[in-house]
Amino acid sequence: MSLAHETIASLRRRLVKREITSADIVRDLVAFIETKNETIGAYLSWDVDAALAEAAKADLNSPLGGVPIAIKDNINVTGQPCTCGSKILAENYRAPYDATPIKQLRSAGAVPFGRLNMDEFAMGSSTENSALGVTRNPWDLGRIPGGSSGGSASSVSSALSIAALGSDTGGSIRQPAALCGVVGLKPTYGRVSRFGLVAFASSLDQIGTLTKTVEDSALLLNHLCGHDPLDSTSLDESVPDFTAALGRDIKGLRIGLPKEYFIPGIHPAVAAAAQAAIKQLEALGAHIEEISLPHTDAGVATYYILAPAEASANLARFDGVRYGHRTASATDILDHYFSCRAEGFGPEVKRRILLGTYVLSSGYYDAYYLKAQRTRTLIRGDFEKAFQKVDVIVSPTAPSPAHRMGDLKNNPLQAYLEDVFTIPANLAGLPAMSVPSGFAEEGGKKLPVGIQIIGKSLDEMTMLRVAHAFEQASGLSHLNPP
């Protein structure tokens, strides 16, 4: 078996014993990427020389020493491209600095390697909005990997990476993790610095992990969290050793099932896998109870007002002056802005900039933006109430398994509605993760589905404890597509 199939935990054991070197892992990954990436399309670029140079220097005694980590293409790594899946950054941008989480990974000995495809500026749930390449679901090449961190999820699933970083604004780590059969974790808002993550919706964005196992997500999370003065929303909170959550039982833990998340319209295989998971959690000694999150139906509308509003402001920086695509045809400065942006941005990004500009514009601000900020308060309140009664909340991650490529391409509203279960955790700033919970059968192919575990604010520990207990009991871990 290639080293590319292994986990962070197993590679670390072998690196510490000096059975293998960091360069061995990089070379095994490169061999896979060179044969399989053309089909899967997980990576947009990979710099073998830079990775081998870093691998040679990696301190194998550090906690992540020598382990290559693949990076979503919206997180800055010095000297590497950072396209955000967009033509506007594809021509010649090279990151002049490391994002804070990259600095932290490096100081733990990890080797950032490779740039992963994504929906343009993280806007989408299928990776079909990338302007730079097609990414496929390793379980069925005719289907989407999910998104926006579709490159991250498909790379981990198909052993093109050991583990990957992604970003999650409305489900962009958890949903592709579910659809590709891997573990995806979004920390509490403010846990991980956003410095160096290209901003989409600043009050919702959070960097997190995509891994083969729950253990690996705890190992990585240990070296991503912490206060950063360069991000004003970064929380100054102590960071526990998240691996302490592993292997603990969940006897007596209270698990809430929001009745608004178990509704007709969910794909039968998703519902069945969720029910089986709940039975399993109950058998492990957890108390299961129904709860209510009464404002769930406001989630999608709230999100698709707030996120585009923030995006329209954040993406104003793409002016063709300081970085990014510059038009060849401009006659004056205004025409320069209009043309640089029209030529550089793709359709979904334009749609969201227009939507965001509209909801912030004079005469509509109160009716849309301010109203959505108020319904966000109601949604946060739902969770505050629920978490007085339960320790974690469990639901399906996404309402259906992976769609066929192109199925939702011409129906943006339908595509937005697919985010119904993942959006509320972002609006409330809560930690949430997806773990594999079973399979749907479609056209003779097995398609992974996931359950979502939402934790209390800053309580990633209990969330990981439940995830690990479930993973060990279900055996749905480290899944390999055919």
Partner 1 sequence: MSAAAIDIQKIATLSRLKLTPEEADLYQAQLAKILDYMDVLARYDLSETEPTATASGGRNVLREDVARSSFSSAEALSNAPKSSHGQFQIPKVVE
Residues 6+ apart with CB under 8 A from 260: 292, 293, 294, 296, 297
Site for partner 1 in 88-117 (CB under 8 A): 91-94, 96-97
CB of 257 to partner 1, least distance (A): 23
Answer whether 220's CB lies under 8 Å from 12's CB.
no
For partner 1, give the closer residue by CB, 346 or 436: 346
For partner 1, give the closer residue by CB, 263 or 333: 333
Let me know if 72 is a catalytic residue.
yes
| Count of residues interacting with partner 1 (CB under 8 A) | 72
409 touches partner 1 (CB under 8 A) = no
Catalytic residue among 22, 36, 72, 445: 72
Answer whether 235's CB lies under 8 Å from 188's CB.
yes
For partner 1, give the closer residue by CB, 222 or 426: 426
Which of 131, 221, 353, 394 is in the footprint of partner 1 by CB under 8 A? Answer: 353
Which of 12, 106, 186, 325 is in the footprint of partner 1 by CB under 8 A? Answer: 325
CB of 478 to partner 1, least distance (A): 32
Question: Measured between alpha carbons, how far is 475 from 466 in angstroms, rounded to an integer?
Answer: 14
- Between 54 and 93, how does the x/- string for binding to partner 1 read (CB under 8 A)? -------------------------------------xxx
For partner 1, give the closer residue by CB, 34 or 91: 91
- Between 411 and 450, how does the x/- string for binding to partner 1 read (CB under 8 A)? -xx--x----------xxxx--------------------
Angle of the 48-57 helix axis to the 22-40 helix axis, nearest 10: 160
122 touches partner 1 (CB under 8 A) = no
Answer whether 256's CB lies under 8 Å from 290's CB.
yes
Which of 38, 49, 290, 332 is in the footprint of partner 1 by CB under 8 A? Answer: 332
- Using the structure block, give the residue that is written with the tokens 């773990």: 435
For partner 1, give the closer residue by CB, 2 or 411: 411
351 touches partner 1 (CB under 8 A) = yes
Which stretch, 156-164, 326-334, 387-395, 431-439, contacts partner 1 (CB under 8 A)?
326-334
Which of 373, 461, 472, 473 is in the footprint of partner 1 by CB under 8 A? Answer: 373
For residue 70 the two structure tokens come to: 């693949």
357 touches partner 1 (CB under 8 A) = yes
Answer whether 238's CB lies under 8 Å from 458's CB.
no
Catalytic residue among 86, 126, 148, 149: 148
Site for partner 1 in 173-232 (CB under 8 A): 189-190, 203, 229, 232
Q: Is 116 exposed, middle or buried (0-12, 13-18, 19+ CB in 10 A)?
A: buried
295 touches partner 1 (CB under 8 A) = yes
Question: Measured between alpha carbons, how far is 100 from 194 in angstroms, rounded to an integer?
Answer: 7
Which stretch, 25-33, 164-172, 367-375, 438-446, contacts partner 1 (CB under 8 A)?
367-375
Which stretch, 23-31, 103-111, 177-185, 357-365, contacts partner 1 (CB under 8 A)?
357-365
Answer whether 250's CB lies under 8 Å from 286's CB.
yes
CB of 194 to partner 1, least distance (A): 11
CB of 94 to partner 1, least distance (A): 7
Let me know if 202 is a catalytic residue.
no
Question: Measured between alpha carbons, how far is 476 from 482 in angstroms, rounded to an integer?
Answer: 15
Which of 9, 20, 272, 301 is in the footprint of partner 1 by CB under 8 A? Answer: 301
For partner 1, give the closer residue by CB, 254 or 326: 326
Which of 35, 263, 333, 404 is in the footprint of partner 1 by CB under 8 A? Answer: 333
Let me know if 203 is a catalytic residue.
no
Which stretch, 30-38, 166-174, 264-272, 409-417, contacts partner 1 (CB under 8 A)?
409-417
Catalytic residue among 86, 157, 167, 172: 172
Catalytic residue IDs: 72, 148, 172
